[in-house]
């Protein structure tokens, strides 16, 4: 049985600014928990955000480098969801009017050029950091959890690819080239160990000839090339095995 694989990647990049996206708090990494906060990034009633112009300039720079169409007008929205790392109960993000649209990035593999579409480039604010207490630091074995709001409000750039990626090799090549471009532009240091460059991957596998795939899975916060490869490889195999099982037993 032949399959078609579609992969779309959402890359989240912390921008190299001295202050946060909508307030004047420092973005310095590694300071004591909850020492770089204010009523704005903690979401206190009555506070009003003011945009970080340097973050906007960096976003514009990246959108141009990725061959995007630049919007004449852009705006922010409130993305409402409930989670402990979001003190306001919403994230300030962009939706229908992002900074950049319909760009592309050309990757080269085995002497051939593969064009990956860039659906959008937009700005948002990062969330707080959840810390899990225990021997391993894993949530499944934690004896308790804490929140560090120092990261909350740090300028975050999101780059969303079109589902043009067909295999793990293409996905890795795309992410590696994107990281190099961002480092060259000096908009981020892209430190993956510190979470400044992380990837969400959307994967769907369908039988060749089918109009729609039966499922799509999103892998969140992949912060190394090895995790990206392992996660994609596992999920592609899982979906293929499941499709073959359903086909065999006509479920």
The parts of the chain modelled with pLDDT lower than 50 are none
pLDDT value of position 122: 97
β-strand 129-133 against 197-207: which pairing, if any? unpaired
pLDDT value of position 251: 63
* Number of domains forming the structure of the chain: 1
CB under 8 Å to 92, separation ≥6 — which residues?
21, 22, 49, 76, 77, 78, 79, 124, 125
What is the C-alpha to C-alpha distance for residues 152 and 30, in angstroms, rounded to an integer?
14
pLDDT tens digits, residue range 30-85?
A: 999 999 999 999 999 999 999 999 999 999 999 999 999 999 999 999 999 888 89
Tell me the helices (H) and strands (E) count for the chain, helix number first: 3, 11
CB under 8 Å to 102, separation ≥6 — which residues?
68, 69, 117, 118, 119
Domain limits for position 12: 3-248
pLDDT value of position 201: 97
pLDDT value of position 149: 96
Pair of tokens at residue 64: 């141009």
Q: Is 27 left (phi over 0), alpha (psi -120 to 50) or beta?
A: alpha
What is the C-alpha to C-alpha distance for residues 198 and 14, in angstroms, rounded to an integer?
9
Beta strands in the chain (DSSP E): 3-14, 69-70, 77-80, 90-93, 100-109, 112-125, 129-133, 144-148, 155-161, 197-207, 217-222
Token look-up 């207490």 returns 133
């Amino acid at each position: 049985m032949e399959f078609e694989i579609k992969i779309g990647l959402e890359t989240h990049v912390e921008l190299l600014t001295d202050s946060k996206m909508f307030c004047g708090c420092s973005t310095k990494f590694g300071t004591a928990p909850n020492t770089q906060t204010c009523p704005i990034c903690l979401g206190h009633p009555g506070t009003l955000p003011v945009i970080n112009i340097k973050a906007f300039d960096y976003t514009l720079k990246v959108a141009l480098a990725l061959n995007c169409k630049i919007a004449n007008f852009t705006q922010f929205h409130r993305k409402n969801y409930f989670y402990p790392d979001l003190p306001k109960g919403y994230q300030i993000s962009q939706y229908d009017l992002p900074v950049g649209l319909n760009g592309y990035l050309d990757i080269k593999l085995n002497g051939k050029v593969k064009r990956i579409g860039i659906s959008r480039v937009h700005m948002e604010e990062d969330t707080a950091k959840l810390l899990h207490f225990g021997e391993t630091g894993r949530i499944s074995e934690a004896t308790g959890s804490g929140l560090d709001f120092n990261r909350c409000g740090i300028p975050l750039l999101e780059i969303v690819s079109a589902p043009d990626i067909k295999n793990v090799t293409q996905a890795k090549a795309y992410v590696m080239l994107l990281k190099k471009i961002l480092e060259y532009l000096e908009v981020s240091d892209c430190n993956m160990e510190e979470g400044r460059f992380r990837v969400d991957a959307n994967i769907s596998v369908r039988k060749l000839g089918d109009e729609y795939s039966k499922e799509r899975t999103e892998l969140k916060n992949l912060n190394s090339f090895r995790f990206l490869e392992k996660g994609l490889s596992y999920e592609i195999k899982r979906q293929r095995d499941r499709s073959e099982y359903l086909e065999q037993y006509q479920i």
